[in-house]
Amino acid sequence: MSTTADTKFFLPLRDGARLHYRDSGAGAGAGAGPTIILLHGWGASGDFFERQAALAQQGLRLIVPDLRGHGLSQGGPQGPQRGPLTLAVLAADVGELIAQLALERYSLVGWSMGAMVAWEHLRGAGLERLDKLSVVDMTAKIVTDEGWPHGLTGGYPEAMVAPTVAAVRADWARMAQTSAAKLFARGTRAEPALLARLTALMRANAAEGLAQLWSDMARQDYRALLPRLGERCQYIYGKESRLYNEATFLHLARLTGTTRLVGLAGAGHAPQWEQPEAFAAALTRHLAPHPRAQV
């Protein structure tokens, strides 16, 4: 994503924090052009969508925030007037950004945790102004139990949440490298320079905020929202994802009532990195006009 001065902005938020975002493409800064807000995953930043920059040359307006506690966005958990980082806080920030930019309609692309931020925003703000939603390699509930095998692959019971949070706090530098490696397709090894860059981007985020967010993510369950989305929602996933199984997305699509399901071969948890052209094609196809589901 371009980081030139004319596309980088900071939005002052309600509690004094600042949200960094990039605004590029058709009508950037002027409220014109089909608008997509791209929401990144846990421990990442808006830089993880840089391979989608070409979409800004295809008549689309791209808005890419660094979610609070990530990237260049200030306002982590520190400070007497600020509570812990939660998905509700991140979703409220997105709502402020939408209001500040006076967006009458918009589409959302939520990758990994970004999908939960999108669902949290829609749960509170409603669906009236939503055009399309693309959920990228993410499930509606990450914790697994006897009735829900569609969380993190291999099983992730509630008992594992506290140890994960403790590990983030204890050694995020090591976990960042492990997490970056897990972005790529099973059976492949990332090019060393790219892995080093993504690891560095992840390590730059404060461990305490990430620990708080992981704890909150593990409490969430967005299954009740899914049927309201219908065909306006699509799922994009990596067929070789290390985090989720293909059966999970087939199940989510059934819950949602959508036929819009795109599995990308040769891609893992971050298909926007490994298969950027196929990923972009899936987004643009979904943005094409089709009958909108009832709210």
Pairing of strands 130-136, 106-111: parallel
Weakest mean pLDDT among 7-16, 107-116, 258-267? 7-16
3-state secondary structure of 145: strand
Distance CA 84, CA 105 (A): 30
**Domain residue extents for the chain:** 5-287
CA gyration radius for the chain? 18
Residue 218: pLDDT band (50, 70, 90) is very high
pLDDT higher at 83 or 23: 23
Question: In the predicted model, what is the mean pLDDT of residues 140-156?
Answer: 97
- How many other CB atoms are there within 10 angstroms of residue 80's CB atom? 4
Weakest mean pLDDT among 20-34, 54-68, 104-118, 216-230? 20-34
Residue 294: pLDDT band (50, 70, 90) is very low
CATH homologous superfamily of 5-287: Alpha/Beta hydrolase fold, catalytic domain (3.40.50.1820)
pLDDT tens-digit readout, 253-267: 999 999 999 999 999
pLDDT at 133: 98
| Residue 84 CA: distances (Å) to CA of 78, 122, 185, 209 | 8, 21, 33, 7
Alpha-carbon torsion 16, 71, 204, 165, what sign? positive
Residue 32: pLDDT band (50, 70, 90) is low
- pTM for the full predicted model: 0.93
71 touches 45 (CB < 8 A): yes
Query: How far from chain centre, in Å, is Cα 138?
Result: 8
> Mean pLDDT in the chain?
92
Question: In the predicted model, what is the mean pLDDT of residues 200-229?
Answer: 97
Burial of 182 (0-12, 13-18, 19+ CB in 10 A): middle
Distance CA 17, CA 274 (A): 33
